[in-house]
Amino acid sequence: MIFVTQKDGTSLALNIDRLERIERNGVDHGRGSNVVLVGGGHLVVEESQETLVERVMASKAAILAKARAMSDSASARVPGAPPLRMVSPPGRVRAVTETDDGP
């Protein structure tokens, strides 16, 4: 989630997984953006396109960092369940066995 400010000044948390695209709002001479959501909904917000992209990237990076920390933590493991692990990037496929504890 990221926080955005609507044109009326109200703040809301936006689910970044529902974003389809962020368009620069030319009406305000580069200030503000149109956020188009999956399913066709849209919001007009005060933040610039660049600011929103930076916030989305930072949010996704924080999620990945938390997932990595959880996969490295023995206390995060549920007894009897396989340990959490990061998924390999595209193009780098690695076989995983039930007893495999390495990344």
Q: What CATH number has the domain bearing residue 53?
A: 2.40.50
Residues spanned by the domain of 13: 2-73
The total of structural domains in the chain comes to 1
Q: Is residue 54 part of a domain?
A: yes
Q: Is residue 21 part of a domain?
A: yes
Q: Which residue has the tokens 């009326």?
A: 8
From first to last of its 103 residues, what are the pLDDT tens digits of the chain?
999 999 999 999 999 999 999 999 876 555 799 999 999 999 999 999 999 999 999 999 999 888 888 766 666 566 777 766 667 777 665 555 555 555 4
Q: Is residue 52 part of a domain?
A: yes
Q: Is residue 4 classed exposed, middle or buried when 0-12, 13-18 and 19+ CB atoms within 10 A define those classes?
A: buried
Q: Is residue 80 part of a domain?
A: no
Q: Is residue 24 part of a domain?
A: yes
